[in-house]
Structure formats: C-alpha cells, structure tokens
Amino acid sequence: MDIATVIGVVVGFLVIVGAIVIGGGWQSFVHIPSLCIVVGGMLCATLTHFSLSQFLGIFAVVKKTLVTKIPSSSELIQNMVNFAAINRRDGALALEQEIPKISDVFFVKGMQMLVDGQESESMRNLMSLEIDNVRERHSTGKKILEFMGASAPAFGMIGTLIGLVQMLKNLSSPDQIGAGMAVALLTTFYGAFSANVFFLPLAGKLGIYSKAETTAMEMITEGVCAMADGDNPTTIREKMQAFISHGRREEVKANI
Amino acid sequence: MDIATVIGVVVGFLVIVGAIVIGGGWQSFVHIPSLCIVVGGMLCATLTHFSLSQFLGIFAVVKKTLVTKIPSSSELIQNMVNFAAINRRDGALALEQEIPKISDVFFVKGMQMLVDGQESESMRNLMSLEIDNVRERHSTGKKILEFMGASAPAFGMIGTLIGLVQMLKNLSSPDQIGAGMAVALLTTFYGAFSANVFFLPLAGKLGIYSKAETTAMEMITEGVCAMADGDNPTTIREKMQAFISHGRREEVKANI
Amino acid sequence: MDIATVIGVVVGFLVIVGAIVIGGGWQSFVHIPSLCIVVGGMLCATLTHFSLSQFLGIFAVVKKTLVTKIPSSSELIQNMVNFAAINRRDGALALEQEIPKISDVFFVKGMQMLVDGQESESMRNLMSLEIDNVRERHSTGKKILEFMGASAPAFGMIGTLIGLVQMLKNLSSPDQIGAGMAVALLTTFYGAFSANVFFLPLAGKLGIYSKAETTAMEMITEGVCAMADGDNPTTIREKMQAFISHGRREEVKANI
Amino acid sequence: MDIATVIGVVVGFLVIVGAIVIGGGWQSFVHIPSLCIVVGGMLCATLTHFSLSQFLGIFAVVKKTLVTKIPSSSELIQNMVNFAAINRRDGALALEQEIPKISDVFFVKGMQMLVDGQESESMRNLMSLEIDNVRERHSTGKKILEFMGASAPAFGMIGTLIGLVQMLKNLSSPDQIGAGMAVALLTTFYGAFSANVFFLPLAGKLGIYSKAETTAMEMITEGVCAMADGDNPTTIREKMQAFISHGRREEVKANI
Amino acid sequence: MDIATVIGVVVGFLVIVGAIVIGGGWQSFVHIPSLCIVVGGMLCATLTHFSLSQFLGIFAVVKKTLVTKIPSSSELIQNMVNFAAINRRDGALALEQEIPKISDVFFVKGMQMLVDGQESESMRNLMSLEIDNVRERHSTGKKILEFMGASAPAFGMIGTLIGLVQMLKNLSSPDQIGAGMAVALLTTFYGAFSANVFFLPLAGKLGIYSKAETTAMEMITEGVCAMADGDNPTTIREKMQAFISHGRREEVKANI
C-alpha cells in the first residue's frame, strides 16, 4: 500500500480534529443534518454527472491504483538491456523463453509481438493506442474525485445559505444568533475539510500514479520497437535512460 | 432512461428540500420575485449568448442524449470480429447481407463503404470528419448547460445586491433587517442550488455520453479501416480491445 | 437582425429593472458618481489593453457580426452538389458561368481558383490560411467584450472599497451607515449587472457566430478541393453532410 | 508613442482619484505603511519569481514595446508585391539593391537569404525559429505584468488581514473600529486599483503588440518563401491579403 | 546562488513582519495551534497528493535548481561556432579532443554522438526525448510548490472556519469576540502569507530555470544536428542567434 497516502490522509485528519478537540467544544462540530446536506448533495451531483458504473467503480479505481505496483524504472531498463542483448545475439525467437519471466501484462504483449516478428511501425501504433486508452480510463477516476472536491464546498455553501436564512428569520431571539450562525458555517467547514483533506489530494495521487504507469508503458514501447528496428543494446540503453534523471542513471550492463 | 441521472437529480433535490423542511419555516424559502430574477436573468443571458435554435434545442439535446443507447463495447467487438472473419473468408462483398442486422447508423455507413470497396485512407478521412463534427455538435449542448450553471449564481449575486441595497435604505426599522437580509440571500441560494444540483452535473453527464458515443465511433472506424486494409481477425480484435480495460477483456472468438 | 440577442438583452434588462421597481425605491439604484467609476474605469482599462483602432472598431464588429447572414448549411450543400455535377459532366470551365450566382465572397474566390485550374493542395493552403485569419480577427472582438465583462465587476469592487472606506471614516453619524453602505454596494451591482446581462453573453454570441461562419468556410473548402480532386458528386455530398447532424440531413440531389 | 495606452492609464487614474476627491476626505486614502505592504510585497514576490535580469528589464520591455512601430500591413503587402514583380522580371539578384530601402531588420534578413539563393524550406525553418523565439521573449514581459497584477491584490488581502487582526485586538476603544477597518481595507483597494488600472491592461497591451509584430513577421516569411518558390506576384498578393480583413483589402498593384 | 530569489524572499518576509511590528502588538500574530493547522494540513495534503520520494525530494529540487548554473547563451554560441569551424576544417573526428573542455553533460553527450558519426535524425530524436523528459521532471517540482501554494490558503480558511464556530458558540462573553475573531483570521493570514511570499513565487522561479535550461538544451540540439548535417559555421551561428534577442546578438567569429 502507498504509505504516503496513508500518512497524509490519517495525519491530516488528526491535525484538524486535534485542533478542534484542543480548542474545546468538539460537540459543536458534529451536526448530522449539515453532514447530510454536504455528503448527500455531493453524492447526488456526482451520480448525475457520471454514469452509474463509473460512480460505483470509483472505490475500486482508487483502491486498485493505490495498491498496484509500478514496475521500477531501473529494473525495467535492466530487463530491456538484457533482452536487447539476447535479441542481438540469438535473434528475436530466443526471447520467447524469457516472456514467462515478465510480470507486466503490457510488457508481455509487446514481447510477444516482437517474437511474432511484427513490424516496428504497427507495434508502435497498437501500443500507443493502448497507452492512450489507459490514460483515458485513468483520467475518469481523477475527474470523479476532482468533481467531488469541487462539489463538496459548493454544497457546503448551499447549506450555509440555508442556515443563514433560517437564522435571520429568527432574529427576535438574539441569544441564538451565535449558535445559529455556527451551525450555518459547519456545512462550509465540512465541504472545505473533505475537499482539501481527501478528494483533491487523492485526485492528484491518481494523476501521479497514472503518469508513472503510462511512462513505464512508453519506456516499454520505445524499447520493444527499438529491438524490432534492430537497434544495438547500447542505443536502447541510452533511449531508456533518457526517461530518468542523470542522478539516477546507473551503469547498466547486459546481464545474461 | 439513464437511471443514475434520475436518482442524482431527484434525490439531490429531496436532500436539500428535506433539510429545509426539517429546519422549519420552509415558507421563508419561497419568494417568487427572487426566483424571477435568477431564472429570468439566466434564461435571457443564455438567449443572448446562443442562437435561438440552439436555445430551443437544448431540451431535445438533453432528452435525446439521455435516452440514446450507446452500443456496448463488448457487443461491438464481437460484431467486428465476426465481420472480420467473414471478410477474411468470403471477401468484403459477403458482408453486404450482414449490414441490415446493424442498428447503429454510423456502423452501417462504414460497412457500406467497405462493401463498396473504398480505400482505407479515404474511409478514415470521411469517418474522422464525421466524428469531429459529432463531437462539435455535442459540445454545444454541454456549453449551454455550463453557461446556465455559471449564469444562475451570477444572477443570484445580482439579486442579493439588489436586496441588500433595498434593506440598507430601510435601516430605520431594525426589526426588518433580518427578514430583508434573508430575502436578499435567497437569490444566491436559488442560483447555487440550481447550478450545483441541475446544470453543472447535467453538463458533465452530456460530456460523458458524448465521450462514450465518440469512442464507439472511433472503435468502428478503427475496425472497418483495418478490415479494408485486410488485417486478420486476431489483429482487429486486439485493436478493438485496446479501447477497453484489461479486466473487461473477455475471450472473443469469431462467432459465425 | 438576430432576434435572440435582442430578446435576451431587452428582456434581461427589464427583468432586473422590474425587480428593482417592484421592490420600491428605484431612486436608490441611480447614483451617477458610482456609474462613472464603473463605466469610466472599464473603458479606460479596455483602451489601455487594446489598440485604439480595435477599441473604436468594437461597435462595428458587434453590429456587423449580428447582422451578417451566415449561408445556411443545406443551401450550401445543395449548391455544392449542383456544382459538383456540372464539374463532373462539363468540366471545371463550365462552372465559370455559375460564379456570378454566388453571393458569398469566400465561395466565389474558391470557385474562381477551381476554374483557373489550380491544384487542390495549393487551394487548400490558401483557403486554410484565410480561415485561420478570419478566426483570428473574430476572436479579437470576443476578447474585448470578455475583458469588459471581467473589468466591469473589478471596477465595481474598487468603487465599493472606496465607498466603504468613506463610510467607515464617518461612523460617528450612525444613521447614515446604511445609506453609505447601500451606495458603496451600487458599484458592485453596476459591474455585475453590465457584465452578466451585456458583455459576457454578447462575447459568447460573437463566438457562436464566428464558429458558424468558419464552419461554412470549412465546408466550402472541403467541397471545392474535392471538386478539384475530381471526386464524384455522391462523395462530395457525403463529405458535406458530415458537417450537419443526421436529423437535418435531407435527400440532396443534383438539381441542374 | 501609443496614444490609447496613455489615455487609458491617465484617464483611468483620474476617474478613480476624482471619485475619491469628490467623495471628500481624500486624506483617508493615503496611508504609507499600507502602500509599502502592497508595493513592497508585490515587488519582492516578482523578484523571487523571475530572474534579476528579467525583473530589471521589465521597464525597458514595456517602453520599447510601446514605442516600437509595427510595419503597417498595407505597406508591407505593397512592398512585397513590388519585390515579387522585380523577382519575376529580373531575378532574385536584382532585389539586392532594394534591401537598403527596408527598415525592418527581420525583412532585411529574409531578403538577404532570398538574394543568396537559399532554398524556401531552409529559409522557412530559420525564420519560423526566429518568430517562435520572438514570441517567447515577448511573453516573458507579459507574464511579469500578469504576475504583478495577480500579486498586488493578494498582498492587498494580506495587508487587510493584518489590519483586521490589529483592529480586533483593540475592540475596547469602539470609536476607533471604523478608522481601523478603513485603514485595513486600504491595502485591498491599493491592490485592486494597481492591478486593474495598470498591470492587467498593460499586460494585455503587450500581448496585442506581440501579436501584431509576429503577424507581420509571418507575413514576411510567407512572402519571401513564396518568392523563393517562384510564385507569381498575383499569388503572393493573395497570400498576403489573406492576413487582413476583406474590408481593408485595397487593390494592390506592383508599383515599380 | 540566485541573488534575486534571496532578496525577494528575505525582503518580502521583512516587509510584512516590519508592517506587523510597526503596527504594534506583534504577539497577536504568533499563535502556535493556528500555525499547526495551516502547516500540518498543507504538508499532509501534499503527502497525499504526491509520492513519498517526490515529497522528500522537493528540498533537493529547489536547492539544486537554484544553485545549478545555466550555461550562458553567448558562451554557448561561441563554443558552437568554434566547433562548427573545426568540424568544417578538420572533420568531426577532430572534435573529439574538444569534448573534455565541455562541462555540460548534455553537450558532451551530443558531441560524442557527433564524433561517433551518428545521423542527424537519430541524434535529434534521442536529444528531443531527453529534453522532453527533463522538462517533465522539472515540472513535478513546480507542481508540488504550486499545490502547496493552493493548499496553504485552503487550510487557512478551514482554520478560520474552526475559529469562527468556536467563537460563535461563546457569544455570551462579548469582550472576547474580538480576540476570538482575530485568532480565527490568523490561519487565513498564515495561508495567504506563505503562499504569496514563498510557494507561488518559488514555483514560478522553478519554471523560469526549467525554461532556461531546456532552451540551452534545444540550442545544443540545433547546433549539434546542424553540424551533423554539414551546415557551414555561418548558418549555425544564425540558427543559434535566433534564440536570443537582436540587442544581445554580438558579432561571433570562430575563435580557433
């Protein structure tokens, strides 16, 4: 599991709740009807915006993306250089017995096409099409969380307006103005809290994961197509290393 | 009909109205002049922004888009693989008798061009042009709803400013300050409510539908052009499957 | 004249003014110095932003764009199919006597190049260059109105700040606080009113017109270049019809 | 000098200052510490954002851009058609004696390459590279002014927060609440005033100038490359005229 | 070290703190719980948004980018013209002994490929890939700082809402309203202060540095590829000079 997300969400929650408890009177911050307006309104708006399957799939998307392991760049480069050396020495067919050792399903597919002797151009087309569509599907999860992060504060404001109107109608009891206004502000607080502690940062994390995964897929595409073009292992290693920073470039040698 | 939209809009409406009724004094939330400012102002601004036919067509666009059935991806892939197998075995002319079984008008058009023996390049050009123009037309409906969603809160603020100025002129009767301010805030409430419960989520839904429909059209284009290029059914199936996620990829076999 | 714009602007104006008059005390909403801050500030900022000729030309641009008639799509398709049939039957030279019947200056230019026997490629280049530059010039008018729509509320806020500072300095006469604050809010009202009833919707309308005009120009380009390429009338009709929705596609036959 | 900018800035300044003076008590609007927060904070943030040379160069950029004369389109077209006629009649070498008559340094460079007999393709590459880099350099000045226009109101809000906190700590002397709050609002006023009267409109003007200059450079590129391709003067005139509106297209004849 | 950043951050900090100290009662502006909400909340949201390694690397990125020296354009052009002259006179192999004199690692790599006799096309591909990936990595640091700059004011508002609710619950002790509200506003002040003095300007600076570094890399790519294409030193000098403004173009001669 992604440790940064867990720490960020849990500690972020504790910081805000801690500040409330220390300030005293945490009971003032629990108001079920206000919570219903913000959470209910946001969920309904999200359901109207997206399709039912997208809405129900958001938990799976978040969970899957946080758990899925991105293949590390250096391991990927090492594998690719090894395969390039085998390809150079023994030909593409010799790569067939290496395929079962690969865990990434996209890498397997690319190697299979290489072994089948497909041309670099058509391989690149098919792999690019798949990368585009993976990016597309990932972005839906991000958009749902971003919409939730924009919708929650909006319903917070709607709740505050409702509370203010109700309070202003009862100005005859001035000792309740403060309490009424405090309740009215709670929905805005709920909206801002949920958006900034959960929805918006999680949407960002989905984007980071999507970026990492599609970059790995692009590295695989570059490497496999370069092998199909018959590039030598040195050129392939340099193409792979262009994707990572100078500091992280270790000496990679074919390890076969 | 799209069940998510119905649930989202109806339940969203009920959540907010319920919160008002439970809070007591729902009569304070009904104020016809305030409603006229927000709804009237928004409709007039929309009419100024768009052409008369676009404005009148918005209900039809919303209704049609919510009712139209998007062909399911798996069914589309199955059909395409079947056609590819027939095309491979019996030639493109044998596909002519399959055309009446297709319900989608864009798919029919593509198959007809395939049967007519047009070249892949010119077919792709014509089909891409049509996809671009479909996307273009869809986006107009989305823009109208988004403009309404931005305009309603703006006229809500204008109404609130009018109410505040009127109230501030009558500060001599202090017992009416609360009521005056409550009425002033109502227009902002109407604007925020209609934008966040109806207009903005519905605009988003139009975008989701447009995306689904144009993706189906792109899949059809890829498949039909691949057939025209003489690709074998396996390659065509793989091209089709790049559009859907790994989890949803079932084993598809030509079923002829 | 464009009826939607007239209705939108006039009724929008009446709705807001009507709400003010019904609410009583419309005199409170007329304050010349406040009007000067908003209108004067906005005009000066616009003059600083744009060149003098662009600033003076904005009225002409708005008027011309609202009055200019966009050639209807169906009429355009009918003409193009007729010309394509003539071109097919009698050759491009026979089209020369059709040119005087065309009213659109861009269409005439395209047909003239066709008759002159220019190549499809160079015709498309020149016509695309012209479309790009038309879009460019149109967008300037839209940008001016959008800037006015952003600048008016900003000067409204500046006026409100001035009014608030002046009022706060005179807190010693508490019976004037309300009146002072009402005047201070008027500039914000003027800014929001002018932006949302006039500037922003009119900027949007300019965009709609620009879109319609450039789409017509793109249809002409596609049609004329297809004739130069020797496409048959059926293909040309299909290319033309890709620009309009299925519902509006009538049976078009060469009518010569 | 650009008269629109001078009028816009000076009159805009006078409108706001006039409204303050007429309202009485202009002394309330002068508060040096508030001015220091807004101006000092904005300058420091700009210095942090940009490099020292960019920061110091902003005055030169603004001055140079406002003073530099953009070659008029019609004059440019006339020159280009004349050169095209000479090129057609006497060959590219005959253009050499025309070069000293050109004042624009980019035009001179293009003509020199034409006389040197370079190919259209390599000329277009080099000239496009230069246009891209001119656009790039211009956009830095625009970004600095836009950042100032965003930073000034932000520091205005920071100053207002400081003033409010200080005022709220001294609620025991209620007759100073008004004065304290007035001073607090002054920083917001300074920020909004400087951004909307100076920074944002000037940033826009830089964009307008940059656009005009790069369009002129694009016209020169199109014309010189067309001459290198051996296009006839009529075609060149039409290419040039595509850049300007129909209304401004005069009859241009080679004037040699 | 970059002097503009140091001056901007330090003086900006002093201006705001100075204004507070001069205004009196600076103790009111120090409130540890408020600081914890803003800083803690912002750090947690950033940790949730980005990966752990990106989060921990932000200090290194900021430090490295501020310290790294961008090769000056004029020096780069001088070197490139010298190398072009050697290449022209003695052939690419003679350049090998010049490589050790180059400090920039990207320049070394390009020269090495030139000496190895690689083709211009493949060199350009590999170098462009590296530039794209450098730009990509730089943008992550910028995004983190921008997210911090957006998150800090958001948690400032959350803290203010908490403070307001707590204050409103205790309206019975009216002499503490002012102090309570002052504390509530402090979190908004902390958020706005840190975002506008530190995070947003530093994010901008990262962008400026990234731009300068990638422009230098693009100049190197253009120059090395032009040498590989066998362009003469004059053409190469002109290509290089297109990247800098006319004012900064000095007479560059091969200095060998």
Residues 6+ apart with CB under 8 A from C248: C73, C74
Answer for the pair D227, D114: CB distance below 8 angstroms, yes or no.
Answer: yes
pLDDT for C247 equals 66
pLDDT for A225 equals 92
The answer, for E27 touching chain D at a CB cutoff of 8 Å, is no
> Which range in A59-68, A172-181, B236-245, D205-214 is most confidently predicted, on average pLDDT?
D205-214
Chains touching chain D through at least 3 C-beta pairs below 8 angstroms are C, E
Tell me how far apart the alpha carbons of residues B34 and C109 are, in angstroms, rounded to a whole number.
54
Lowest-pLDDT range, A112-121, C190-199, E41-50?
A112-121
pLDDT for E39 equals 95
Give chain C positions within 8 Å (CB) of D185: 161, 164-165, 168
- Closest-CA distance of chain E to residue A77, Å: 15
Bin B27: left if φ > 0, else alpha if -120 < ψ < 50, else beta: alpha
Predicted TM-score (pTM) of this structure: 0.89
pLDDT for E89 equals 87
pLDDT at residue B254 is higher than 90: no
State the DSSP H helix or E strand holding residue B87, giving kind and residue range, or none if neither. Answer: helix B73-90
pLDDT for E58 equals 84
Give chain A positions within 8 Å (CB) of E170: 178
**DSSP characters over C110-132:** HHHHHHTT--HHHHHHHHHHHHH
Angle between helices D200-228 and D233-241 (to 10 degrees): 160
pLDDT at residue C127 is higher than 60: yes
Count of alpha carbons within 13 angstroms of residue B50, beta-carbon side: 22
The pLDDT mean for chain B works out to: 87
pLDDT at residue D67 is higher than 70: yes
pLDDT for E117 equals 86
SS3 label, residue C28:
helix
Tell me how far apart the alpha carbons of residues D150 and D195 are, in angstroms, rounded to a whole number.
7
Answer for the pair D44, D241: CB distance below 8 angstroms, yes or no.
Answer: no
pLDDT for B89 equals 87
Give chain E positions within 8 Å (CB) of A19: 33, 36-37, 159, 162
The answer, for C176 touching chain D at a CB cutoff of 8 Å, is no
b/e map E2-32, b = 16+ CB within 10 Å:
bebbebbbebbeebbebbbeebeeeebbebe
Give chain D positions within 8 Å (CB) of C129: 222, 239, 242-243
For residues D126 and B175, the model is more confident at D126
Instruction: Find the angle CA(A139)-CA(A140)-CA(A143) to the nearest 5 degrees.
Output: 85
Residues 6+ apart with CB under 8 A from E145: E58, E62, E199, E200, E202, E203, E206
Answer for the pair A10, A75: CB distance below 8 angstroms, yes or no.
Answer: no
- Smallest CA-to-CA distance from A106 within A59, A63, A68 is with A68
Instruction: Find the angle CA(B36)-CA(B41)-CA(B47) to the nearest 5 degrees.
Output: 130
Tell me how far apart the alpha carbons of residues C66 and C209 are, in angstroms, rounded to a whole number.
8
pLDDT for C137 equals 79
Average pLDDT over residues E208-227: 90
Cα distances (angstroms) measured from residue B224 to each of B77, B229, C242: 11, 9, 18
For residues C60 and A86, the model is more confident at A86
Lowest-pLDDT range, B234-248, C12-26, C125-139?
B234-248
Tell me how far apart the alpha carbons of residues C94 and C103 are, in angstroms, rounded to a whole number.
18
Interface test with D, best of C31, C44, C171, C221 (most D CBs within 10 A): C44
Partner-chain contact D44 E8, CB within 8 Å: yes
Partner-chain contact A12 E41, CB within 8 Å: yes
Give chain A positions within 8 Å (CB) of B11: 40, 44, 47
Average pLDDT over residues E41-65: 86
Size of interface C-D (CB pairs under 8 A): 131
Question: Could you tell me the two tokens for D69?
Answer: 């004369």
For residues E253 and B107, the model is more confident at B107
Q: With 0-12 CB in 10 A as exposed, 13-18 as middle and 19+ as buried, what is C99?
A: middle
Residues A145-183 pLDDT 10s:
999 999 999 999 999 999 999 888 877 776 778 888 888
Amino acid identity for residue D179 in this structure: A
pLDDT for A253 equals 64
pLDDT for B255 equals 65
pLDDT at residue C13 is higher than 60: yes
Answer for the pair B106, B130: CB distance below 8 angstroms, yes or no.
Answer: yes
Tell me how far apart the alpha carbons of residues A196 and E158 are, in angstroms, rounded to a whole number.
9
pLDDT at residue E1 is higher than 60: no
Q: CA quadruple C201, C204, C206, C212: dihedral positive or negative?
A: negative
Q: What are phi and psi of D36, to 5 degrees?
A: -65, -40
Question: Distance from CA of residue B56 to its chain's centroid?
Answer: 17
- Closest-CA distance of chain B to residue A224, Å: 18
- Smallest CA-to-CA distance from E199 within D49, A193, A207, D39 is with D49
Tell me how far apart the alpha carbons of residues C154 and C199 are, in angstroms, rounded to a whole number.
14
pLDDT for E103 equals 84
Average pLDDT over residues B209-219: 89
Average pLDDT over residues B154-161: 96
ipTM, 2 dp: 0.85
Question: Could you tell me the two tokens for D221?
Answer: 């590129």
pLDDT for A41 equals 95
Question: The tokens 């220019």 sit on which residue?
Answer: C118
For residues D235 and B188, the model is more confident at B188
pLDDT at residue A3 is higher than 90: no
For residues B25 and D204, the model is more confident at D204
pLDDT for A47 equals 93
**DSSP characters over E163-183:** HHHHHHHTTTSGGGHHHHHHH
Q: pLDDT grade, residue D2 (50/70/90)?
A: confident
Average pLDDT over residues B81-102: 87
Q: With 0-12 CB in 10 A as exposed, 13-18 as middle and 19+ as buried, what is B118?
A: middle
pLDDT at residue B1 is higher than 60: no
For residues A215 and D252, the model is more confident at A215
Q: pLDDT grade, residue E194 (50/70/90)?
A: very high
Q: Report the first-to-last Cα separation within chain D, whole angstroms.
A: 32
Residues A37-77 pLDDT 10s:
999 999 999 999 998 888 888 888 778 767 777 777 888 88
Lowest-pLDDT range, B59-73, B155-169, D200-214?
B59-73
pLDDT for A162 equals 93
Tell me how far apart the alpha carbons of residues C120 and C99 are, in angstroms, rounded to a whole number.
18
b/e map E225-245, b = 16+ CB within 10 Å:
bbbbeebebebbbbbbbbbbe
Partner-chain contact B45 C245, CB within 8 Å: no
Partner-chain contact C178 B157, CB within 8 Å: no
Q: pLDDT grade, residue C185 (50/70/90)?
A: very high
Tell me how far apart the alpha carbons of residues E50 and E55 are, in angstroms, rounded to a whole number.
6
Size of interface A-E (CB pairs under 8 A): 130
Residues D72-118 pLDDT 10s:
888 888 888 889 899 888 888 888 888 888 888 889 989 998 998 88
Count of alpha carbons within 13 angstroms of residue C42, beta-carbon side: 28
Q: With 0-12 CB in 10 A as exposed, 13-18 as middle and 19+ as buried, what is D250?
A: exposed
Average pLDDT over residues B55-84: 81
The pLDDT mean for chain C works out to: 87
Average pLDDT over residues C171-181: 77
Tell me how far apart the alpha carbons of residues B42 and C119 are, in angstroms, rounded to a whole number.
50
The answer, for D169 touching chain C at a CB cutoff of 8 Å, is no
pLDDT for B178 equals 82
Tell me how far apart the alpha carbons of residues B157 and C188 are, in angstroms, rounded to a whole number.
10
For residues C210 and A250, the model is more confident at C210
pLDDT for D174 equals 67
